[in-house]
């Protein structure tokens, strides 16, 4: 578990790891491409390590260059076995990204129901509709699901998503790659994680056009690119968590390695609260020592729209808002079970939060928190509890370190680099 106490304002410079949420679809894209891909800036968190293991178990060769711990080479192999039973796929949500590559290699994909954070029902029905649009067949049972490639088809695949699902958007992109068919996708998800997959495909010759209403993908017209090298962008969520921790302690610090456009909604939220923050040259600067709390209400509403607030920014913002004046509203209908995880844990620290519904809540700050034992029931709940612990009087112990490590290789270490009073302890 982690023990954290309030201390001096955080200060200094720290660099974020590569983004888990971008690395996972890029690994699946590398497998779908069926040619050697060099992927750099991979984070060393548990989910990414499991995904690398799944790629290898499914028949690809994964090489880790000596002296380059954040790089992996994804190499296709000629040997073809029966479609593997990938039991580890039950431990991460993003295992479904591998379906297109498995269909191309084995003709079918048999996977257990995806795991990951327990933050509400996130079904596979829309994914199955995507595969059906390509002519594939799907079936489900108590243990998982099966997708089978039927007769190959030609021509453009056209479909409209009923909501902007990141998983379904990536599924459509990668199935287009493995079938070599043009794609017209209505109402796509254009989060930074999807955009980086589009950029990766563009680098190997695919013609991509992405607008808020329509995304199109056209196969390469010329030969294959010999050398494929992609880089995972910096983790915007880790940067946002660190920024909220800096702001909560009244500190001034710099967070390197994150693209400004990826944290725009988070920066806007900090400024509304009166905390100076800006981005330049892939560095997010937070100057909370110069903060002038506005008392304005923060409306942190998770959104799938382009430029909207990523749902994973909401928990650390909630922890920060507890220390700032204002009547603040939070909503996350994307992950309907997340508040059910987070709010009871914050209440253990003394937070008073009015639960309007299962996906909406309101709080009035500032509030005085007191250290207590809490549990990281999912990745973002864990990071938010660490932020709250930096302001709570006394010692806060956060259990569930394995959950936190699924998304962060070493969040406590990064906070220690900024002078936080935090350490791992044996229960």
Q: List alpha helices for 4-124, DSSP H.
A: 20-33, 46-57, 99-106
User: Which one-letter DSSP state was computed for residue 150?
Assistant: -
Q: Please, what is the Cα angle at 33 between 32 and 39, to 5 degrees?
A: 95
Contact 37, 422 (CB under 8 A): no
Three-state SS at 289: helix
d(CA 14, CA 17): 10
Q: What phi, psi does 74 have (nearest 5°)?
A: -100, 115
Catalytic residue among 117, 196, 244, 361: 117
Upstream peptide bond of 58 is cis (omega within 30 degrees of 0): no
Contact 206, 162 (CB under 8 A): no
Nearest of 229, 168, 194, 227 to residue 24 by alpha carbon? 194
Is 117 a known active-site residue?
yes
Residue 40, beta-bridge partner list: 231
Helix axes 379-389, 314-321, angle to 10 degrees: 20
Q: List alpha helices for 180-321, DSSP H.
A: 192-203, 236-248, 264-272, 314-321
Angstrom CA distances, 175 to 101, 149, 258, 259, stand at 8, 11, 29, 28
Label residue 42 left, alpha or beta by phi (over 0 means left) and psi (-120 to 50 means alpha): beta
Of the CA atoms within 13 Å of residue 328, those in its CB half-sphere come to 29
Contact 237, 21 (CB under 8 A): yes
Which residues are catalytically annotated?
Answer: 117
């Amino acid at each position: 578990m982690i023990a954290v106490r309030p201390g001096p304002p955080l200060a200094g410079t720290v660099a974020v790891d590569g983004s888990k949420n971008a690395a996972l679809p890029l690994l699946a894209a590398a497998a779908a491409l069926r040619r050697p891909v060099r992927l750099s800036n991979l984070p060393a968190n548990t989910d990414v390590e499991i995904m690398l293991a799944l790629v290898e178990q499914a028949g690809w060769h994964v090489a880790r260059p000596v002296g380059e711990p954040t790089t992996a080479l994804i190499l296709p192999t000629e040997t073809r076995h029966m479609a593997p039973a990938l039991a580890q796929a039950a431990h991460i949500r993003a295992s479904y990204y591998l379906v297109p590559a498995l269909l191309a290699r084995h003709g079918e994909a048999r996977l257990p129901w995806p795991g990951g954070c327990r933050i509400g029902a996130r079904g596979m029905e829309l994914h199955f509709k995507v595969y059906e649009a390509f002519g594939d067949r799907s079936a489900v049972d108590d243990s998982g699901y099966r997708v089978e490639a039927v007769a190959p088809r030609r021509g453009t695949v056209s479909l409209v998503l009923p909501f902007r699902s990141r998983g379904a958007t990536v599924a459509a992109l990668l199935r287009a790659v493995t079938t070599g068919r043009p794609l017209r996708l209505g109402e796509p998800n254009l989060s930074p994680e999807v955009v980086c997959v589009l950029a990766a495909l563009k680098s190997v010759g695919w013609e991509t056009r992405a607008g808020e209403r329509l995304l199109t993908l056209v196969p390469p017209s010329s030969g294959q690119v010999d050398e494929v090298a992609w880089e995972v962008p910096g983790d915007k969520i880790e940067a946002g968590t660190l920024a909220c921790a800096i702001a909560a302690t009244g500190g001034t610090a710099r967070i390197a390695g994150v693209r400004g456009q990826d944290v725009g909604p988070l920066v806007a939220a900090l400024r509304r609260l009166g905390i100076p923050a800006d981005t330049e040259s892939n560095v997010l600067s937070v100057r909370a020592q110069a903060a002038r709390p506005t008392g304005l209400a923060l409306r942190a509403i998770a959104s799938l729209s382009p430029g909207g607030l990523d749902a994973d920014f909401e928990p650390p913002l909630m922890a920060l808002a507890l220390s700032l004046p204002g009547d603040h509203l939070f909503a996350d209908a994307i992950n309907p079970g997340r508040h059910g995880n987070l709010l009871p844990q914050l209440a253990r620290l003394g937070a008073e939060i009015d639960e309007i519904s299962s996906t909406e809540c309101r709080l009035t700050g500032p509030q005085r928190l007191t250290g207590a034992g809490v549990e990281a029931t999912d990745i973002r709940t864990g990071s938010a509890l660490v932020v709250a612990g930096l302001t709570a009087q006394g010692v806060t112990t956060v259990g569930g370190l394995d959950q936190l490590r699924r998304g962060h290789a070493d969040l406590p270490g990064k906070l220690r680099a900024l002078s936080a009073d935090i350490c791992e302890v044996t229960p």
